[in-house]
A and B are shown apart, each in its own frame.
Chain A
Amino acid sequence: MSSTEFGLKGTVRELLRYKGAVLGLTIIIILVFISIYAVVAIPYDKAVEQWRESEYWIKNPKNAAPEWINYISDKKLPKSIYLSGEGKVVKDEGRSKLVFEYNFGYYYDDFPSEIILFVNSNVTKSFYLKTSFLRPDGDLIFLGKYKIKKGENRIYVTNKLDLEASLEKHVEERLGAKPNFSITIEKALFLAYTGKQEVLKGDYEIKLEALTNATSKDVNCEVVIYGKVHGLTGTDHLRRPLSIALIWGTPVALSFGITAATLIVLMQLIIATISAWFGGRVDMVLQRVTEVYMVLPFLPTLIMISLFYRISIWTLLLVVIALSIFGANVKTMRALAMQIKTYPYIEAAQAYGASSLRIVFLYMIPKMLPPVIPSIILSVPDFVFLEAVLSFFGLGDPLLPTWGKLLHDALENGALYKGLYYWVLEPSALLVLTAFSFAQIGLALDKIVNPRLREI
């Protein structure tokens, strides 16, 4: 019980002597700041709404890696290119049309992932939009003629099957042979005709001709050439930036982990002390309940409950606590309480007539608290990962974006098979950091309160 020799201040001072603990504390403080930022900057409702609203992210590329990947690898992956601007009215053989010309340089080492035309028309009468693509080598490719109705129009150029068929033929003609790789539209448009899968670098031009006599104010166009990298964290299969889930996962993971760990250990402490203090029948009943809990398989029971009752993450937290308060720890704590029960100061308390309640809560539990604090901190990672496990089985909170859900989505959508490393590694890195910091602090505290373990 030498733990009581240190006050809170002394313990913190001791703790700061361990490099690992200092590192752990620093990381946790950063994570706490991220949590506060998450809650303040992206309010709960907004985070949930953005995460569930797929339309919101339509101008992001799908499954894009983070942008900083380009600094690491020598192959430069394309960023998305957004082309927009007012059209010009051009008179051609007496008929007027609106022409949009967009020039852009393409100097990346990989092909874009997708091309979509966004056309907004205020013209009541629908009209045709002729689209063409001019390559740096002078090759002019017709991308199709599309009917534009009033309102918002979206043309998924790279999904047009007839265009793909004609481009395949076009590439074969230019190469003089069938290429030994498959041709997609985005590949055909940016392919250098060398026979290898290479990008033709240079300045391209996309030309859209709206066959209407409307003014330039009435028709807005935007061409998006989706890249393969996006933002600081990349995007998932629904174009959502991972950053939202990474940032919002932080307060969820921390609060879930810390609340569960603290409440469970405290409840266990109370149960163990009551069991030891009262002894007899109370002890017998509590011992049997502990054994029932030992026999009940924890994870299957938890998964069943959350699946059958479809509960939110905070109700789930209560279930987790209820399922864990009679864990194996209770036996160890009970042994400790039995020891403390025989201490002279407890006898003294009894002698002056202190009530059982008073002795248990004011004299015994405070005495037992210091040695169990390391185990509270050490069990935080378990519950952070438990949240991830539940997300893994498609349980957990149905609305909130969390780290576990990112991992689940990544595995579900074949990130391991497609080589989308960032999708797995980003949430994993945060899980590792969290687990590592709590473990460092917990182990250092363990050495402080159990002096026999201290290094010489």
Chain B
Amino acid sequence: MIPRIVKYIFKRVLMLFLVVVIATYITILIANAGGYVDEIIKSEIQFNVATYVQNNPAYKGLPPEELRKLIDSMVETQLKLRGLDQPFFIRSFYYLGNALTLNLGRSYFMTSDSGSRMVRLIILERLPQTILLFTTATALLFFIQLLGGLYLSGKYGKRIDRILVNLAPISSMPGWFFLILLILIFYTWLHLLPPSGLVDYPPPPDPFSYFLSVLKHMILPLSAWLISYTWIGIYNMRNFFLIFSTEDYVEVAIAKGVPPGQVRKRYILRPSLPPIITNLALALISSWMGAIVTETVYEWPGLGYTIAQAIGFMDAPVIIGVTVMYAYLLAFTVLILDIIYGFLDPRIGAAGR
């Protein structure tokens, strides 16, 4: 019994690690544009060294040939220092090794607010803002959708059900789009709320008013996400519960005279919980990536905005760093879920029941 579950877990760990390795390697290839970014950096080093030598009075008067030799050797040292003397194909595996051991290294161009070029610090500095906004939004959305869907499945065909079902098309428009419209209303027209950023400028000195200012800045993006993603979520949850509520055992329970509240809780919610938990876990992890477009529109200094900037600067280490962290987190979540279901679900049977 025990060896079987261990074998199952071991197999899943191996598989998921393979998935992370492949995904990371693909990202490395794309983020370096197949070695193109390296070429840019090489020519930059050459240019910098040449200007340095030409402007340095100590090297004045040297014959041009020696000067060229000097430049070449200095460029070579620089390239070696950065590990750029090897072909990209070989280097890509060094990158892969470093990324997988979470040795994220230094960025090419971007710096954290404290001036550091460590990718780890850049990511850690931006992550809290993203969690603050998007993990909050995701969790809020999840509970609204869950409760709304559960409520509606009980009101099937009633007026409130029809109204909410007819609101579902609103969700065909993404959150960032509603954000633009909300900014147009609440900033451009009414001048009530700020159009961008995390906090007022200059930031308020005491923590309490700082907190209030951040809250004020969160209103628009948060509402935009709620407006956009609530309706289809409620609709999907309702359908999901409806399908469960036509199961025979639910009908038997109703026929037995079990009160509707209990039917909902015990006979509909409980058996449908596993896929719902899976969805929540995956949604929460995905929210850590932030929302590139929403953060860019609102200039919210989170991870999504950082990725957008990193892509603009072709800052491969930052892009790879974010991706590999995300891949690990996601794979880890999937693994935990797999293990839980392996124990719980008799159909998977790994627990050997």
**Complex partner residue of B184 from A299, A388, A416, CB under 8 angstroms:** A416
A428-B177, A440-B169, A456-B157 are contacts. A297–B187 as well, Cβ < 8 Å? no
**Complex partner residue of A392 from B293, B311, B327, B334, CB under 8 angstroms:** B293
Q: Are B33 and A308 in contact (CB under 8 A)?
A: yes
Q: Are A20 and B292 in contact (CB under 8 A)?
A: no
Count A/B pairs, Cβ under 8 Å: 131
A295-B19, A296-B23, A436-B169 are contacts. A393–B180 as well, Cβ < 8 Å? no
Residues of A within 8 A of B297 (CB): 392, 411
Q: Chain B's interface: helix, strand, loop or mixed, by majority?
A: helix
Q: Which residue of B lies closest to A384 (CB)?
A: B172
Q: Which residue of A lies closest to B16 (CB)?
A: A291
Residues of B within 8 A of A351 (CB): none
Q: Which of B24-32, B56-64, B249-257, B263-271 contacts A (4 or more CB under 8 A)?
A: B24-32
Residues of B within 8 A of A431 (CB): 173, 177
Judge if A330 is at the interface, Cβ distance under 8 Å.
no
**How far is A20 from B166 in the complex, measured between Cα atoms in Å?**
8
Residues of A within 8 A of B19 (CB): 288, 291-292, 295
Q: Are B27 and A296 in contact (CB under 8 A)?
A: yes
Interface size on B, residues (CB 8 A): 58
**Complex partner residue of B180 from A309, A428, A453, CB under 8 angstroms:** A428
Q: Which of B73-81, B103-111, B238-246 contacts A (4 or more CB under 8 A)?
A: B238-246
Q: How far is the CB of B307 from chain A (nearest CB, A)?
A: 5
Contact with B along A411-435 (1 / 0, CB 8 A): 1000011010100110010011001
**How far is A431 from B239 in the complex, measured between Cα atoms in Å?**
27
Residues of A within 8 A of B246 (CB): 452
Judge if B140 is at the interface, Cβ distance under 8 Å.
no
**How far is A431 from B123 in the complex, measured between Cα atoms in Å?**
34
Judge if B6 is at the interface, Cβ distance under 8 Å.
no
In chain A between 32 and 85, which residues have their CB closer than 8 angstroms to a CB of chain B? none
Q: Which residue of A lies closest to B327 (CB)?
A: A295
Residues of A within 8 A of B272 (CB): none
Q: Are B308 and A393 in contact (CB under 8 A)?
A: yes
A389-B293, A421-B188 are contacts. A407–B180 as well, Cβ < 8 Å? yes
Judge if B289 is at the interface, Cβ distance under 8 Å.
yes
Q: How far is the CB of B28 from chain A (nearest CB, A)?
A: 11
Q: Are A300 and B323 in contact (CB under 8 A)?
A: yes
Q: Which residue of A lies closest to B21 (CB)?
A: A292
Q: Are B26 and A292 in contact (CB under 8 A)?
A: yes
Q: Are A301 and B173 in contact (CB under 8 A)?
A: no
Judge if B183 is at the interface, Cβ distance under 8 Å.
yes
**Complex partner residue of A295 from B171, B311, B330, CB under 8 angstroms:** B330
**How far is A436 from B16 in the complex, measured between Cα atoms in Å?**
39
In chain A between 370 and 424, which residues have their CB closer than 8 angstroms to a CB of chain B? 378, 381-382, 385, 388-389, 392-393, 407, 411, 416-417, 419, 421, 424
Q: How far is the CB of B52 from chain A (nearest CB, A)?
A: 29
Q: Are B26 and A432 in contact (CB under 8 A)?
A: no
Judge if B15 is at the interface, Cβ distance under 8 Å.
yes
In chain B between 158 and 178, which residues have their CB closer than 8 angstroms to a CB of chain A? 161-162, 165-166, 168-169, 171-174, 176-177
Q: How far is the CB of B29 from chain A (nearest CB, A)?
A: 10
In chain A between 1 and 48, which residues have their CB closer than 8 angstroms to a CB of chain B? 20
**How far is A68 from B189 in the complex, measured between Cα atoms in Å?**
19
Q: Are A304 and B156 in contact (CB under 8 A)?
A: no
Residues of B within 8 A of A288 (CB): 15, 18-19, 22
**Complex partner residue of B173 from A304, A305, A381, CB under 8 angstroms:** A381
**4 other contacts beyond A424-B181, A443-B235, with CB at 8 A cut-off?**
A304-B30, A381-B172, A388-B177, A425-B184
Can you pick out 15 interface pairs between chain A and chain B where the beta carbons lie within 8 Å of each other? A295-B327, A296-B27, A299-B293, A300-B319, A303-B292, A308-B36, A382-B172, A393-B308, A411-B297, A416-B180, A416-B195, A425-B184, A439-B171, A439-B172, A440-B169
Which residues of B are at the interface with A, using a C-beta cutoff of 8 A?
A: 15-16, 18-20, 22-23, 26-27, 30-31, 33, 36, 156-157, 161-162, 165-166, 168-169, 171-174, 176-177, 180-181, 183-184, 187-189, 195, 235, 239, 242-243, 246, 289, 292-293, 296-297, 307-308, 311-312, 314, 319, 322-323, 326-327, 330-331, 334
